[in-house]
Structure 1
Amino acid sequence: MATVVGLSDHYANFLVHPLLPGPGVCQICRGPAKVGYPTCWQCQQANSILGPGVADAVVPVSLALKGEQYANELWRYKNAAGPQQRYFRMGLAAVLWRFLALHEPCMADHCAVPAFDVVTTVPSTSGRADHPLRTMVADMVGATSGRHHDLLTSAPDALTLGRTASPARYTSAALWGENVLLIDDTWTTGHHAQSAAATLKAAGAGSVAIVVLGRHLNISYGDTATFVEQARLRRFTWDVCALRSWSHR
């Protein structure tokens, strides 16, 4: 019988730890930032639009590099068909389950909360009826299935907003101070996920932390190749803390 460890082990061959925040690294999304600036331009934009509505933590599982294996899987788990679709969904569900089992307590500690009471996902704004990420989080990942709730709905005019961060992109069911773990698959600008976080907070959420399976980067853009080269210096291992420079041993 397949296990979470068995299904996720081979991912260590191509996952890439995001760099920890510091000079040249965005303190929010962990992507490239201009030296001397605490955040990248996209995160600064989201902050200026959403203010205190932005997430209390953003934790990427791995970099997802355009044209490489992990980015390819994050595309194919939504767009492949038949056995291939099931294969990629099972693999990514195992990645998320293993990551949360190891690192969710550190995320809660980072947000100064005892735990995350509710788990939900960022909805599609493209009209996809049954998003596979929702299926994974609600039905396949043992670390989240018991806490999953469908909280967010895309606003009717969400598509007209493009990728811009907006508190009007989603609506949410009412919350009463629950701490929410918000899951997304790919972070490019982060504006969809941050808009969802702002909606949850406006609906009454306590702390909101975002876990994203892949922080998308295009290594042919600007100085990104150098940034990724630095990230690759630290070989991926599952026990390396997502938020601090130590291992969970």
Structure 2
Amino acid sequence: MATVVGLSARYTNFLVHPLPPGPEVCQVCRGPAKVGYPTCWPCHETGRLLGNGVADAVVPVSLALKGEQYANELWRYKNAAGPQQQHFRMGSAAVLWRFLVLHEKCLTDHCAIAAFDTVTTVPSTSGRRDHPLRSMVADMVGTTRDRHRDLLTPTPEAADLGRSVSAERFASSALWGENVLLIDDTWTTGSRAQSAAAALKAAGADCVAVVVLGRHLNIDYGNTAGHVENARMRRFSWEACPTRPWRHG
């Protein structure tokens, strides 16, 4: 019988740890930042527009590099058909499950909370029904299954917002001080995830933290190639803490 460790093992060969926040690394999304700036431009603009509505923490499981294996799989888990679809969905679910088993406590400690009461996903704004990420979190991943709630729905304005970050992109069911773990599959500018975080906070959430399966980067853009080269210097390990500079397991 397939296990979470078994299904996720092959990903060790091509996952890439995001760099820790620091010089030329965005302290929010872990992407490239210009010299002397604490965040990249999209995260700077998001903070300016949303203020306290932004997520309290953002943790990418791995970089997802354009044209490479992991980015390809994160596309295929949504768009493949038949047996391939099940293969990629089970793999992605195993990656998320294994990561949360090892590191959800790291994230709660980082946010100074006892636990995440509720888990939800960023919904599609492209009209996709029964998004596979929702199915993974609600049905497949054992650490999230019992806490999952469908909280977010796109607003009528969502289609006209394009990729712009906006507190008006999503509406959320009412919350009463719950701490919410928000799951997304890919982060490019973070506009969808941060818009969702803002909606959750407006609805009454206390802490909102984002775990994203892949931080998408294009190495042909700007200074991204050097950023990725530095990230590749650290061999991927499931035990490497995403919020502190050490390993555990």
TM-score for the superposition, normalised by structure 2: 0.99
For residue 94 of structure 2, what is the aligned residue in structure 1? 94
Opposite residue 165 of structure 2, the aligned amino acid is: A
Matches of 2:25 and 2:71, distance apart in 1:
20
Report whether the alignment pairs 1:83 with 2:66.
Answer: no
Matches of 1:25 and 1:159, distance apart in 2:
31
For residue 230 of structure 1, what is the aligned residue in structure 2? 230
Opposite residue 217 of structure 1, the aligned amino acid is: L
Matches of 1:40 and 1:222, distance apart in 2:
12
For residue 42 of structure 2, what is the aligned residue in structure 1? 42
Secondary structure in structure 2 of the residue aligned to 1:215: strand
Matches of 2:35 and 2:246, distance apart in 1:
24
Matches of 1:51 and 1:223, distance apart in 2:
28
Opposite residue 56 of structure 1, the aligned amino acid is: D
1:156-198 C-alpha deviation (Å, 9 max, x unpaired): 2201001111000000000000000000000000011000000
For residue 126 of structure 1, what is the aligned residue in structure 2? 126
Opposite residue 36 of structure 2, the aligned amino acid is: G
For residue 53 of structure 1, what is the aligned residue in structure 2? 53
For residue 217 of structure 1, what is the aligned residue in structure 2? 217
Matches of 1:34 and 1:102, distance apart in 2:
32
Opposite residue 26 of structure 2, the aligned amino acid is: C
Secondary structure in structure 1 of the residue aligned to 2:142: coil
Secondary structure in structure 2 of the residue aligned to 1:229: helix
Opposite residue 101 of structure 2, the aligned amino acid is: A
Opposite residue 138 of structure 1, the aligned amino acid is: A
Q: Over aligned residue pairs, what C-alpha RMSD do you find?
A: 0.5
Opposite residue 75 of structure 2, the aligned amino acid is: W
Q: CA deviation at 1:222?
A: 1.1
For residue 65 of structure 2, what is the aligned residue in structure 1? 65
For residue 204 of structure 2, what is the aligned residue in structure 1? 204
Q: CA deviation at 1:224?
A: 0.6
Q: CA deviation at 1:233?
A: 0.3
For residue 180 of structure 1, what is the aligned residue in structure 2? 180
Opposite residue 18 of structure 1, the aligned amino acid is: P
Q: CA deviation at 1:213?
A: 0.1
TM-score for the superposition, normalised by structure 1: 0.99
Matches of 2:86 and 2:49, distance apart in 1:
38
Following TM superposition, where does structure 1 have runs of at least 4 consecutive aligned residues deviating by more than 4 angstroms?
A: none
Q: CA deviation at 1:151?
A: 0.2
Structure 1: gaps spanning 5 or more residues = none
Q: CA deviation at 1:147?
A: 0.2
1:14-59 C-alpha deviation (Å, 9 max, x unpaired): 0000000000000000000001000000000100110000000000
Matches of 2:46 and 2:179, distance apart in 1:
21
Structure 2: gaps spanning 5 or more residues = none
Percent identity at matched positions? 75
Secondary structure in structure 2 of the residue aligned to 1:186: strand
Matches of 1:149 and 1:95, distance apart in 2:
21
Q: CA deviation at 1:216?
A: 0.1
Matches of 1:51 and 1:165, distance apart in 2:
12
1:80-114 C-alpha deviation (Å, 9 max, x unpaired): 00000000000000000000000000100111100
Matches of 1:167 and 1:20, distance apart in 2:
28
Matches of 1:223 and 1:178, distance apart in 2:
39
Secondary structure in structure 1 of the residue aligned to 2:94: helix
